[in-house]
Structure 1
Amino acid sequence: MKESAVVFDKIVEERRSVRIYEGQADFDPKAVQRSIERAILSPNSSNMQLWEFYRIRSEEALERVSWMCMNQKAAKTARELVVFVARKDLWRRRQRALVKEMKRVYGEPKTKGAKRALNYYESLIPKYYYNDPFGVWGFIKKCIFFFVGLNRPMVRHGNATDVRISVHKSAALAAQTFMLSMKAEGYDTCPMEGMDSLRIKKFLKLPRKAEVTMVIGCGPAAGDGIYSERFRIPNDEVIFEV
């Protein structure tokens, strides 16, 4: 096994959801910034990057958001909280940015690959992400996918709910990268879904269509910060070969 794999294995093994953080231990807030910047490099659907990250740092903000996280110790004792936000509503802006970048890189596309990539972002992405208020276009897409899928493999999702789930998946991938990075930096984390997402949205002044994926507390772990030994279902019950 390569040395890098040994290091990564150690990081994964040592990462735990820490519920209590040490308030007096040294803490480098730059580690949070570095970890978010690494999270931005995470894989995400069509590279649309439909996410935002909010660092909760001030004493007043931490107190308010911790209350919105049901006053969990993982929130109340955290040195920082990071809110991961799914921004499906930004798809047009991101799509335009990607098209502009591709045109900068390729100029007038000449190869089949370049033309296919540009067509994907100029034509297919809008068709996938757009959904009218009544869900008619989403229903039509589902029907198209069903009939095309009778003869060949076909994407099966395309309505508003499907797209929403896809965007949250990407935000969750970024969250995992962030947590592993913080562990590599020598700090601990705890992802929280027990929260009042509506109040957090209002506090952050997010638009109506933005959605909070999760809140992650971080900092140096306290001695009693891990509540129990790690338990996982046996590998042979979850890993299969075909």
Structure 2
Amino acid sequence: MTTQMTTDGQVRADADFFQVVKERRSVRVYDPNWTIPEDELRDILQTAILAPSSSNLQPWRFLVIRDAELKRKLLPIANNQQQVVDASAVIAVLGDLKSYEKAESIYASAVAAGYMSEEVKSDFVKRTVQIYGSLPEPVAKSIVQVDGGLVSMQLMLAAKAKGYDTVPMGGYNKEKFVEAFGVPDRYVPVMLIALGKAAKEGHPTTRLPLDEVVFWDSMEQR
């Protein structure tokens, strides 16, 4: 845990990054009476969207499900995993297959921030729309799935740093989810993330030894 002085003279405590990474667990038992304030959820999401993405198109979109009735509606779609109703929120991470349509506003904001010239922006927008707008659907889906994974991990670490817990969920019926929640065709479901206050800690797990998963310079068989 580190501390630093804020502009108003208050001392703020921040969780150490490595501590957050090592202590994050997939939690499946939540306090059903705990509500995360919307400003806290916004802080977590704001940190999450600092993640990198292909051509900075930021294709992630989030459906934040907090309403108790909607969570009960989601329960059977998510294979009756109890965390869906007990967590403070379930965040559906989606990938926008037409994220290139926001290229103009994304790069215009970079110009306004002084990160690129208007000339460079115009070239970026033209090439980005041409390339991403003509991608085969399987390729476009692969890109938003990767970017969705990046933002999801960042979201879970941000939540842990603020004292909350999460569990990523791929075990749900994506077709039924899309139908039940009226998700347009342009959005690809990436995962659900249950987010809340743990009522029971997630159990620790082990990892393969580093030398079993890392190859240095060559992938020759050991």
TM-score of the superposed pair, with normalisation by structure 2: 0.81
Query: For 2:123, which of 119, 125, 132 is the aligned residue?
Result: 119
Using the TM superposition, give the Cα deviation of residue 116 of structure 1 relative to its aligned residue in structure 2, in angstroms: 4.6
**If each structure's helix is expressed as a fraction of its own residues, which one has the higher value?**
1
Using the TM superposition, give the Cα deviation of residue 100 of structure 1 relative to its aligned residue in structure 2, in angstroms: 3.6
Using the TM superposition, give the Cα deviation of residue 164 of structure 1 relative to its aligned residue in structure 2, in angstroms: 1.5
Using the TM superposition, give the Cα deviation of residue 24 of structure 1 relative to its aligned residue in structure 2, in angstroms: 3.7
Using the TM superposition, give the Cα deviation of residue 98 of structure 1 relative to its aligned residue in structure 2, in angstroms: 3.0
Separation in structure 2 between the aligned mates of residue 30 and residue 104 of structure 1, nearest angstrom: 27
Using the TM superposition, give the Cα deviation of residue 75 of structure 1 relative to its aligned residue in structure 2, in angstroms: 1.7
Using the TM superposition, give the Cα deviation of residue 214 of structure 1 relative to its aligned residue in structure 2, in angstroms: 0.5
Is the CA contact (8 Å cut-off) linking 2:27 and 2:165 kept in structure 1? yes
What residue is the counterpart of 1:21 in the other structure? Answer: 30
What residue is the counterpart of 1:59 in the other structure? Answer: 68
Q: Give the letter for the 2:161 counterpart.
A: A
What residue is the counterpart of 1:234 in the other structure? Answer: 209
1:145-201 per-residue CA deviation (whole Å, 9 max, x = no partner) reads xxxxxxxxxxxxx53312221112112111111100110111100000111212222
Is the CA contact (8 Å cut-off) linking 2:32 and 2:88 kept in structure 1? yes
The answer to whether residue 40 in structure 2 is matched with residue 40 in structure 1 is no
Using the TM superposition, give the Cα deviation of residue 36 of structure 1 relative to its aligned residue in structure 2, in angstroms: 0.8
Q: 1:239 to 1:61 in 2, by over 3 A?
A: same
1:16-71 per-residue CA deviation (whole Å, 9 max, x = no partner) reads 11111122457444322210111122111111111211110111011111221111
What is the number of residues matched between the two proteins?
206
Alignment of 1:50-129 (within 5 A): 50-92=59-101, 94-101=102-109, 104=112, 109=117, 115-122=119-126, 124-129=127-132
Using the TM superposition, give the Cα deviation of residue 104 of structure 1 relative to its aligned residue in structure 2, in angstroms: 4.9
1:101-156 per-residue CA deviation (whole Å, 9 max, x = no partner) reads 456567x95xxxx645531321x21232123xxxxxxxxxxxxxxxxxxxxxxxxx
Unaligned runs of 5+ in 2: 4-13, 218-222
What residue is the counterpart of 1:135 in the other structure? Answer: none
Unaligned runs of 5+ in 1: 132-157
SS in 2 for 1:211: strand
Q: Give the letter for the 1:119 counterpart.
A: D
Is the CA contact (8 Å cut-off) linking 1:102 and 1:118 kept in structure 2? no
Using the TM superposition, give the Cα deviation of residue 8 of structure 1 relative to its aligned residue in structure 2, in angstroms: 0.6
Q: Give the letter for the 1:199 counterpart.
A: K
Separation in structure 1 between the aligned mates of residue 106 and residue 33 of structure 2, nearest angstrom: 44
What residue is the counterpart of 2:197 in the other structure? Answer: 220
What residue is the counterpart of 1:175 in the other structure? Answer: 152
Is the CA contact (8 Å cut-off) linking 1:98 and 1:121 kept in structure 2? no
Q: Give the letter for the 1:97 counterpart.
A: S
Q: Give the letter for the 1:86 counterpart.
A: G
TM-score of the superposed pair, with normalisation by structure 1: 0.75
Percent identity at matched positions?
25
The answer to whether residue 14 in structure 2 is matched with residue 11 in structure 1 is no
Separation in structure 2 between the aligned mates of residue 35 and residue 168 of structure 1, nearest angstrom: 20
Is the CA contact (8 Å cut-off) linking 1:22 and 1:221 kept in structure 2? yes
